[in-house]
Structure 1
Amino acid sequence: MTTALLPWSKFLICALLIGLAGPVLTRSGDAIARLTGLSRSWIGLVLLATATSLPELFTGISAVAAAGAPNIAVGDALGSCVFNLLLLVLLDALSRDEPVYRRVDQGHILTAAFGIILIGFVGAFLLIGRGALDIRLGHVSIYTPFLILLYFVAMRAAFFYERRAGTIAFTGEKGTETGLAGAVGRYLAAASIVVGAGVWLPFAGLEIAEVMGWRASFVGTLFIAAATSLPELVVIVAALRLGAVDMAVANLLGSNLFDVLVIAIDDIAYTDGSLLASASPAHAGSAFAAVIMSGIVIVALLYRPGARFLGIIGWISLSLLVVYLLSSYAIYLLGH
Structure 2
Amino acid sequence: MFDVAALLALAAVATAVVWKGSTWLEESADGLAAGYGVPAVVQGAIIAAAGSSMPELVSVLVATLRHGEFELGVGAIVGSAVFNLLVVPAVAALAADSDGMSTGAELVYKEALFYMLAVASLLLTFSLAVIYNPLDGPGLRGDVTRPLALFPLVLYGLYVFTQYLDTADHEGEADPDVDLGRAWLWFGLGLAVIVVGVEGLVQAALGLGDAFGTPAFLWGMTVVAAGSSIPDAFVSITAARSGRPSVSLANVLGSNVFDLLVAVPVGVLVAGTLAITFAHIVPMMGFLILATIVFFTIVRTDMLLSEREAWTLLVLYGLFVVWLLLESVGASDIVPT
Fold shared, TM-score > 0.5 on shorter chain: yes
Residue 229 of structure 1 deviates from its aligned partner by: 0.9
Residue 155 of structure 1 deviates from its aligned partner by: 1.7
1:286: which partner in 2?
284
TM-score, scaled to structure 1: 0.79
Aligned partners of 1:266, 1:80: CA distance in 2, in Å?
16
**SS of the counterpart of 1:177?**
coil
Q: State how many pairs are aligned.
A: 321
Residue 194 of structure 1 deviates from its aligned partner by: 1.9
1:146 pairs with 2:146: no
Aligned partners of 2:26, 2:266: CA distance in 1, in Å?
26
Given the superposition, is the C-alpha separation of residues 242 and 95 from structure 1 closer, same or farther in structure 2, using an over 3 Å criterion?
Answer: closer
**SS of the counterpart of 1:204?**
helix
What amino acid is aligned across from residue 222 of structure 2 in structure 1? L
Deviating more after overlay: 76-85 vs 24-33: 24-33
Residue 90 of structure 1 deviates from its aligned partner by: 1.0
2:130: which partner in 1?
130
1:74: which partner in 2?
74
1:320 pairs with 2:304: no
What amino acid is aligned across from residue 14 of structure 2 in structure 1? C
CA contact (8 A) 1:72 1:220 kept: yes
Deviating more after overlay: 299-308 vs 79-88: 299-308
CA contact (8 A) 2:56 2:228 kept: yes
Residue 80 of structure 1 deviates from its aligned partner by: 0.9
CA contact (8 A) 2:126 2:144 kept: no
Residue 108 of structure 1 deviates from its aligned partner by: 6.0
CA contact (8 A) 2:61 2:267 kept: yes
What amino acid is aligned across from residue 143 of structure 1 in structure 2? L
CA contact (8 A) 1:74 1:279 kept: no
Aligned partners of 2:184, 2:131: CA distance in 1, in Å?
47
Aligned partners of 1:27, 1:65: CA distance in 2, in Å?
28
Q: 2:163 aligns with which of 158, 163, 169?
A: 158
Query: Which runs of 5 or more structure 2 residues have no equivalent in the other structure?
Result: 136-142
Aligned partners of 2:321, 2:2: CA distance in 1, in Å?
28
Aligned partners of 1:177, 1:111: CA distance in 2, in Å?
33
What amino acid is aligned across from residue 286 of structure 1 in structure 2? M
Q: Pairwise mapping of residues 150-299 of structure 1 onto structure 2 (< 5 A)?
A: 150-163=155-168, 168-170=170-172, 175-178=175-178, 182=182, 185-260=185-260, 261-271=262-272, 273-275=273-275, 278-299=276-297
What amino acid is aligned across from residue 265 of structure 2 in structure 1? A
Residue 111 of structure 1 deviates from its aligned partner by: 2.5
2:93: which partner in 1?
92
Aligned partners of 1:97, 1:330: CA distance in 2, in Å?
33
Aligned partners of 2:179, 2:247: CA distance in 1, in Å?
21
CA contact (8 A) 1:55 1:199 kept: no
Identity score, percent: 18
What amino acid is aligned across from residue 16 of structure 1 in structure 2? A
What amino acid is aligned across from residue 313 of structure 2 in structure 1? L
Residue 121 of structure 1 deviates from its aligned partner by: 2.3
Residue 62 of structure 1 deviates from its aligned partner by: 1.7
What amino acid is aligned across from residue 251 of structure 1 in structure 2? N
After superposition, the CA RMSD in angstroms is 3.4
Residue 20 of structure 1 deviates from its aligned partner by: 2.5
TM-score, scaled to structure 2: 0.79
1:106 pairs with 2:115: no
Residue 83 of structure 1 deviates from its aligned partner by: 0.9
Residue 324 of structure 1 deviates from its aligned partner by: 3.3
Aligned partners of 2:32, 2:193: CA distance in 1, in Å?
19
